[in-house]
Amino acid sequence: MKIIMLGAPGAGKGTQAKMIAEKYSIPHISTGDIFRANIKEGTELGKKAKTYMDKGELVPDELVVDLVVDRLAKDDAVKGYVLDGFPRTIPQAEALDAALAKRNEKVDFAIDVNVPDENIVKRMSGRRACVGCGATYHIVNVPPKKEGICDTCGGELILRDDDKPETVLNRLSVYHEQTQPLIDYYTKEGILKTVDGTVPMMDVFSAITAILG
């Protein structure tokens, strides 16, 4: 099963993608997580990506597409995957379709997790991410058992660099301009499914599993 998660920054793509990956035993591939891992390791890709991410801009398509296409060719992706944060532009979606078409494959579902802008800034300022394993919490909605400490690995929980309110606002406007057109793109392909992302996360998950079967 090949699934794409669409939605504004903070809509809950990562939260849902992790649960989908577990339930259907497919890898969760997040381009944001890949870039953050590269930034942490100090790679050339990480250094380049950071200059865009810190401003809330998109990393240029040419730095993203090959990375994802290579990742999808790995053995663990033969049965499918859940893509989180990719594609994010029409050229990325076209590049993905072209790469899959070469192998006679196609995306099965594009799931749009719909959350209005006014809910987003609140969510992002409360989000905490683990420096160790990348797990995501929210200080009010999804709190860890012990404040500031990851339930899974005991790592420190921090506010992501790009979750400051002014950067979040820019990420939202970049989303509307460059990523929202993908809703039409996947509607035309006949695979778009929209779920309400404002309800509790287990209810969002139930709506998604009802679609995926």
- Positions touching Mg ion (CB under 5 A) are 14
123 catalytic? Reply is no
Angle at the Cα of 138 from the Cα atoms of 36 and 25, rounded to 5 degrees: 65
145 catalytic? Reply is no
Q: Is 134 in the site for ligand AP5 (CB under 6 A)?
A: no
Q: Which stretch binds ligand AP5 (CB under 6 A): 20-28, 53-61, 151-159, 183-191?
A: 53-61
- Which among 181, 176, 183, 138 is positioned nearest to 157, based on CA atoms? 138
What is the rounded CA–CA span in Å between residue 16 and residue 201? 8
122 catalytic? Reply is no
Site string for ligand AP5, 58-97 (x = CB under 6 A): xx----x--------------------xx-x---x-----
Which residue, 54 or 105, is less far from Mg ion as judged by CB? 54
36 catalytic? Reply is no
Candidate list 32, 82, 107, 134; residue touching ligand AP5; CB under 6 A: 32
CB 184 within 8 A of CB 104: no
Catalytic position from the list 2, 13, 36, 123? 13
Site for ligand AP5 in 176-205 (CB under 6 A): 197, 200-201, 204
Give how far Cα 177 sits from Cα of 46, 57, 110, 168, 173, Å.
Answer: 24, 11, 19, 14, 6
Q: Please report the beta strands in the chain, taking only residues with DSSP state E, as ranges in sequence order.
A: 2-6, 28-30, 81-84, 109-114, 127-130, 136-138, 157-158, 192-196
Catalytic position from the list 48, 160, 164, 193? 160
128 catalytic? Reply is no
| Residue 141 backbone phi and psi in degrees, to 5 | -75, -40
- Looking at residue 73, its amino acid is A
Catalytic position from the list 2, 50, 88, 123? 88
Beta strands 109-114 and 81-84 are unpaired
What is the rounded CA–CA span in Å between residue 131 and residue 36? 10
How far apart are CB 178 and ligand AP5 at their closest, in Å?
9
Structure tokens at 42: 């100090």
Q: Is 50 in the site for ligand AP5 (CB under 6 A)?
A: no
Q: Which residues are catalytic?
A: 13, 88, 127, 160, 171
Q: Which residues bind ligand AP5 (CB under 6 A)?
A: 7, 9-15, 31-32, 35, 52-53, 56-59, 64, 85-86, 88, 92, 123, 126-127, 136-138, 141-142, 162, 171, 197, 200-201, 204
